[in-house]
């Protein structure tokens, strides 16, 4: 063994990973919050709600309202920061959703991107056969809709949405809406490598929409038909792949914890051999303890050279890489951390949700709902609240808002009692509320800053306010 590591083998960062066996129990157990509560909060506060609601909605499609846009953007920004901005060895890509149809033949999706579809002959409802409860003999149990046990034979159902380019709807014009963002990173590998002058090991990262015609969309934004993914393909020298796989598992674990996710709600589950995708040399799922079950947030796969081999074959273009230092040519192996934006957003929402008993200054006990979101994720960082709509307060309150707006997402709210406004901000996770009162304008030019988590209040001079918040807003 050489006593120094080859320079393309990483140190695996320390991470206290809760790693479980492939067949680990998925029962969620008692949770701080139910899905109904989260769905209700999201709807009431315009975070996420049904798409096309006035027409009765469309299954598996959801809209993100003003606060939801900010929350989701913050999740993506945190990912981009960790995966691209803070690194020298990962570069971004924003590829087209519509790609040449041969891409999906090469990737194996046309042939194999299927789920087993099964139909209840009694009520004609369709289900994913692998999502049904099984009897002891391995056959599907009662229909979850009508209770009958009269099933069709399962058939393979391709999840890709198809559409047509141009005016003719024939097979020559048929294209697919991408079911994952990953393929563009393989197809564009050589161009990106060359133009960005990266050397293996390096990665290409992309955030974008993907589409899957899921048989049974469910659990709010957990399983939908149109969603966003955050994927990174990390190209490595064959033989270094296992170490890089461990490296990325640790990195990704630390990313979730760094954003405040409670470690007891997170685990890494190894895939069983028969669960591995056709391309995979090893996969783990990062799973979150959602109120409904432990479920996948992210897959981290060692894809070997499957993708570059296939795209070389199907396109006729050599996608091998010449390693000038080692003077060898090879097809890089790929480590892929692939996460879902919507699922991750839902997990952060569930994890942050708390209901607390609080005692007001007058001694009254009250219940408050608070989202203890990491500051980086909170949709609004600072709320500016004039004590009342009294005209004397408005100019200074507006001035404070204008002072903070260039730096942070600020919300100005003057509607209702101050207590109610605090609750409204707690409920969406705003870390700080700044109150402008009569003393502010009449005597001290200071404001009251209230902290979301401790609920303590401090008087801070307007001149010092930016610095005060800068010290406390951690991201």
Question: To the nearest whole angstrom, how small is the minimum distance from the Cβ of residue 198 to ligand ATP?
Answer: 24
Residue in this structure with the two tokens 């509607």, named with its chain if needed? 415
Q: How far apart are CA 458 and CA 471, in angstroms?
A: 14
Placement of tokens 């769905």 in the chain = 39
Question: To the nearest whole angstrom, how small is the minimum distance from the Cβ of residue 296 to ligand ATP?
Answer: 5
Question: What are the structure tokens assigned to 169, written together?
Answer: 């709807």
Q: Measured from the CB of residue 297, what is the shortest distance to ligand ATP in angstroms?
A: 6
**b/e 90-125 (16+ beta carbons within 10 angstroms → b):** bbbbebeeebebebbebbebbeebebbbbbbeeeee
For the bound state, the minimum distance from the C-beta of residue 447 to ligand ATP, rounded and expressed in Å, comes to 41
Whether residue 177 is preceded by a cis peptide bond, meaning omega within 30 degrees of 0, is no
d(CA 231, CA 89): 15
Nearer to ligand ATP, 377 or 397 (CB): 377
- Comparing CB distances to ligand ATP, the nearer of 42 and 393 is 42
From the list 474, 376, 379, the residue with the least C-alpha distance to 80 is: 376
* Of residues 180 and 413, the one with the C-beta less far from ligand ATP: 180
Smallest distance from ligand ATP to CB 159, Å: 8
Token pair of 470 as six digits: 């800068």
Q: Could you give the CA distance from residue 313 to residue 105 in angstroms, rounded to a whole number?
A: 11
Residue 10 CA to residue 223 CA, distance in Å, equals 34
DSSP letter, residue 211? E
Of 119 and 298, which CB lies nearer to ligand ATP in the complex structure? 298
Smallest distance from ligand ATP to CB 338, Å: 4
Asked if residues 181 and 95 have their Cβ atoms less than 8 Å apart, the reply is: yes
Among 65, 68, 56, 30, which residue's Cα sits nearest to residue 341? Answer: 68
157 closest CA partner among 125, 128, 197: 128
Closer to ligand ATP at the Cβ: 236 or 284?
Answer: 284
CB of 276: closest distance to ligand ATP in angstroms? 11
Q: How far is the CB of 113 from ligand ATP (least distance, A)?
A: 9
Compare residues 176 and 227 and give the one whose CB is closer to ligand ATP.
227
Q: Among residues 110 and 460, whose Cβ is nearest to ligand ATP?
A: 110
Nearest distance in Å: CB 72, ligand ATP: 12
- Look up tokens 């097809």; give the residue: 331
What is the pairing mode between strands 457-461 and 446-451? antiparallel
Q: 8 or 287, CB closer to ligand ATP?
A: 287
Tell me which DSSP letter residue 331 carries. Answer: P
Give 292 or 468: the residue with its C-beta nearer to ligand ATP: 292
Measured CA distances, 133 to 130, 143, 149, 274, 346 (Å): 8, 9, 12, 19, 25
CA angle 259/260/266 to nearest 5° reads 100
Least separation, in Å, of the C-beta of 180 and ligand ATP?
Answer: 6
- Kindly report the backbone phi and psi dihedral angles of residue 309, in degrees, each rounded to the nearest multiple of 5, phi listed first: -60, -50
Q: Give me the least distance between CB of 277 and ligand ATP, in Å please.
A: 8
Binding site for ligand ATP (CB under 6 A): 180, 212, 214, 223-224, 227, 229, 296-299, 338-340, 342-343
Cβ proximity to ligand ATP, 52 vs 168, nearer residue = 52
- In 317-371, at which residue ranges do the beta strands (DSSP E only) sit? 321-323, 328-330, 333-340, 353-359, 365-371
**Where do we find the tokens 């502010």?**
440
Q: Which is nearer to ligand ATP, 241 or 413 (CB)?
A: 241
Residue number closest to ligand ATP, CB atom: 340
């Amino acid at each position: 063994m050489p006593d120094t590591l080859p320079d393309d083998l990483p140190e695996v960062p320390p991470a206290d990973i809760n790693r479980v066996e492939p067949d680990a129990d998925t029962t969620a157990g008692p949770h701080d919050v139910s899905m109904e509560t989260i769905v209700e909060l999201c709807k009431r506060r315009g975070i996420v709600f049904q798409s096309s609601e006035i027409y009765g909605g469309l299954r598996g499609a959801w809209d993100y309202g003003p606060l939801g846009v900010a929350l989701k953007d913050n999740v993506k920004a945190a990912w981009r920061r960790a995966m691209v901005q803070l690194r020298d060895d990962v570069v971004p890509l924003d590829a087209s959703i519509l790609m040449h149809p041969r891409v999906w033949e090469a990737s194996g999706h046309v042939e194999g991107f299927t789920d087993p579809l099964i139909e209840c002959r009694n009520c004609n409802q369709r289900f994913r056969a692998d999502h049904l409860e099984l009897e002891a003999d391995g056959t599907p149990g009662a229909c979850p809709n009508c209770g009958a046990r009269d099933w069709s034979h399962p058939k393979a159902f391709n999840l890709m949405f198809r559409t047509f380019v141009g005016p003719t709807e024939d097979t020559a014009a048929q294209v697919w809406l991408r079911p994952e963002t990953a393929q563009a990173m393989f197809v564009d590998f050589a161009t990106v490598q060359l133009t960005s002058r990266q050397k293996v090991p390096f990665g290409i990262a992309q955030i974008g929409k993907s589409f899957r015609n899921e048989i049974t969309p469910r659990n709010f934004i957990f399983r939908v038909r149109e969603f966003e993914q955050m994927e990174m393909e990390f190209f490595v020298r064959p033989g270094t792949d296992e170490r890089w796989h461990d490296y990325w598992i640790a990195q990704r674990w630390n990313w979730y914890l760094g954003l405040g996710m409670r470690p007891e709600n997170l685990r890494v589950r190894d895939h069983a051999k028969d669960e591995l995708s056709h391309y995979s040399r090893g996969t783990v799922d990062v799973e979150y303890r959602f109120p409904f079950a432990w479920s996948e947030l992210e897959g981290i796969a060692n894809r070997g050279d499957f993708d570059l081999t296939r795209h070389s074959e199907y396109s006729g273009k050599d996608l091998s890489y010449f390693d000038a230092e080692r003077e060898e040519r090879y097809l890089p192996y790929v480590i892929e951390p692939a996460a879902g934006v919507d699922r991750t957003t839902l997990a952060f929402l569930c994890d942050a949700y708390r209901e607390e008993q609080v005692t007001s200054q007058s001694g009254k006990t009250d219940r408050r709902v608070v989202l203890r979101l990491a500051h980086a994720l909170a949709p609004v960082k600072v709320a500016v609240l004039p004590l009342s709509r009294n005209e004397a307060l408005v100019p200074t309150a507006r001035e404070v808002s204008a002072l903070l707006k260039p730096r942070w997402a600020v919300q100005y709210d003057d509607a209702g009692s101050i207590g109610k406004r605090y609750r409204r901000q707690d409920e969406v996770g705003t870390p700080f509320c700044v109150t402008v009162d009569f003393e502010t304008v009449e005597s001290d030019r200071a404001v009251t800053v209230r902290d979301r988590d401790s609920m303590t209040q401090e008087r801070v001079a307007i001149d010092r306010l930016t610095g005060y918040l800068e010290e406390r807003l951690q991201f």
